[in-house]
Amino acid sequence: MMRFKYIKRDPKICGGRPVFKGTRIPIYLILDYLSAGESIEEILENYPQLSPEAILEAIKYASQYTKLEEELIEIAN
């Protein structure tokens, strides 16, 4: 699993869900906006504390998590 510059998990913040560092914004929220068709520019208008790089890293995080989950499923079977 790769290291992330903009994302952290802390059991004391948002129940340990991954958030953008320095915020309480969970990455799933931004991923939901993207999947609903919002552009990065639209998201940044509503969340100016984020950067385009942080949003792209959230997509990478989701991809890495999905790959890891698939590997765990293969191991379990």
Q: Does 73 have pLDDT greater than 80?
A: no
Listed by start position, the domains of the chain span 7-76
Going by pLDDT thresholds of 50, 70 and 90, the confidence category of residue 71 is: low
Q: Residue 70 has what pLDDT?
A: 60
Q: For residue 30, count CB atoms less than 10 angstroms from its CB and return exposed for 0-12, middle for 13-18, buried for 19 or more.
A: buried
The DSSP letter of residue 6 is: S
Query: How many Å apart are CA 44 and CA 22, to the nearest integer?
Result: 16
pLDDT tens digit string along 51-65?
999 999 999 999 887
More confident residue, 57 or 74: 57
Cα dihedral 58/60/63/65 (nearest 10): -70
pLDDT tens digit string along 12-51?
999 999 999 999 999 999 999 999 999 999 999 999 999 9
CATH number of 7-76: 1.10.10.10
Listed in sequence order, the residues at least 6 apart from 49 whose beta carbon sits closer than 8 Å to its beta carbon are 20, 22, 23, 25
Query: How many Å apart are CA 21 and CA 74, to the nearest integer?
Result: 32
